[in-house]
Chain A
Amino acid sequence: MEALLAVSRQMPMLLRASVLNIELLLALVAIGFVVGTSVALCQVYGGRTVRTISGVYEWVFRSIPALVLLFLFYFGPAQFGLRIAPFLAAGLALGLRSSAYQSQIFRGAIQSIPTGQLAAARALGMSRMRAVITIILPQALRLSLPGWSNEFSAVVKDTTLAYAVGLNEIMRAARVVYDRQYELAMPVLLAVALVFLLLTFAGNFILGGVERRWHIPGTETAGGGPQADRSR
Chain B
Amino acid sequence: MNFMEWVQQPWPWYVAGPLIGLIVPVLLIIGNKSFGVSSSLRHICAACLPAKIPFFKYDWKKEIWNLFFVTGIVIGAFVAFQFLNNQQPVAINGTLVNDLDKYGINNLKGLVPTELFNWASLFSIKGIILIVVGGFLVGFGTRYAGGCTSGHAIMGLSNLQFPSLVATISFMVGGFIVANLLIPVILKM
Do they bind each other? no
Query: What is B's interface to A at a CB cutoff of 8 Å?
Result: none
Query: Which of A's residues lie within 8 Å of B, judged by CB?
Result: none
